[in-house]
Chains A and B, each alone.
Chain A
Amino acid sequence: MRLPQFTYQSPDTLEGVLAVLDEYRDQAGVLAGGTDLLVRMKHRLTLPKVLVSLKHLDTLSYIKETSGMLCIGAKTPIIDVIRSERVGQQAPALVQACERIGAVSIQHFRGTMGGNILQDNRCIHYNQSQFHRSGRQPCHKDGGKICYARDEADRCNSTCQSDGATALTALDAQLTLNSTRGERRVALDAFYTTDGIHPFDMQPDELLTQIDIPVVPGAVSAYERLSFRSAIDYPIVCAGVRLVPDPDDSGCIGSARIVVGAMGRSPLFLAQVSRSLAGVTFDDTAALEKAGKDAMNAAAAFAAHNAGAELAYRQAMVEKMVARALTQAAARPSARKAR
């Protein structure tokens, strides 16, 4: 499969990249690892006139800890996150998510953390070759007025199938976006627009530069996902959770964040279900399992026929993924200490 034509630029500095983005705006595509972008270009789903390569921006590849934040450069390869002891200790859910992205030889050395967050929403009816799509009317995301994922839907029902986004939303991450106009920070759960066609609150001249994860003392996290094959495939359901112990040392959960991914147009932060876990002890298995059931009830309505699996099965599996992630997080040594 040939790539479409484009011109290529690889500026040496961040300012250089931002200047190109400012000049070409939505005609420019940002190339980091390329494992998502180049596939979409081969399918003619996106046709940037200019590709701006981040090849020379090694300054955007780092993992460090500063003033209570774990900071990951947007261009950090997935493998560096997986192998980072610091991330493993502070944010194990992110390591678990990264281990499940694609396969070793697809994403891990070329794919980047920023690219995973900015992975475009997917739908089994949309992410197909040009030839496949030419056989029928275009869908909403393809510029048409039909949705093949949900009957008579007036909008796109693609889903965010990024492993990293779900884990990072559970970890309450924040993003730093740069442009020639300056720098701006946005919380990850506010970054998603819930619009399937334009899933990110991001201007065409902006570049994602850094991901910050707050380091919360005693917090535990976990990520679980379900996919057809254990590698290569995208998740059909996934869940990321973070549990913070009660500061009074009571052995109870102080606050929780439960996020369900690959169901809606963005990772779904289930605020009400999360709140219900406050005051519950870490070893209260019944409460953790009930939270799984509540999460299923809250998330089920968002699902559409867009991932190739039976809808009822995916909905039922939300309960399992959330309950497993919660049980796993609660069983981590630091949570046990809190008991």
Chain B
Amino acid sequence: MVENRPLLTFFSHLALIVGISFIALPVWLAFVVSTQEASALFAGQVPLWPGEHFIENYSSILFEGEKNSGAPPILLMITNSLVMAVCVAVGKITISIISAYAIVYFQFPFRQAIFWMIFMTLMLPVEVRILPTFEVIAQLGMLNSYAGLTIPLIASATATFLFRQFYMTIPDEMIEAARMDGAGPIRFFVDILLPLSRTNIAALFVILFIFGWNQYLWPLLVTTDASYYTVVMGIQRMMAVPDSDPIWHYVMATAILGMIPPVIVVVTMQKLFVKGLIETEK
């Protein structure tokens, strides 16, 4: 905007400030509550400024867990969530990048049919096929394991589709030039296609990491052993303690801790993420 219009500046800032507080206030409240004593919250009023029990609350929840609800230490749950989110993201990207390569660059019978079959799995997220998937995982003895947590979530078409679309925008001359240079299919994939997909991979990693991190229903079903609990389901378990008031200060501390890793991932990969979404390097 070239002209100087103070009123417009004022209102646009106001809109931004309202928007930010709308998102930030609950986070702030969660943080405030997580630093209070349990008794401070039963008065029915939510304090607005942090209390004095920050270190105490966080260290106990991080390393000891909440005994009454049978929740393991948060550190363990965060590790589980991390393993799950990273496995889901890496697994999905690996599988889809390879399958998209096959679909775009190789002529084989029923190529289109196979693509549409992969595409159709878009309509079948875990929630829809939860019973049969659970049955399969149970039969394979994969309950209470990282494999059981991640493998059913890895199978999906979104990423395959995305990479297929990206590969189709790469000019044919690129592979022809590589063939003239003497590169075989694997060399072309590793030397040319992977580096070109770098930003796409990063963008997808961020999205899929958060997708994996936020999984709730599936971990709830396949884990009965506390040592495989993830943070997101852990919060729910802490809130639903029978015959006792919810221990809000611990729940909120868990929520705050559970928020940190996705934030770190988004912030560190933000540049690549935006690049991957808006710009194609060709």
* A and B are partners in one complex rather than unrelated chains: no
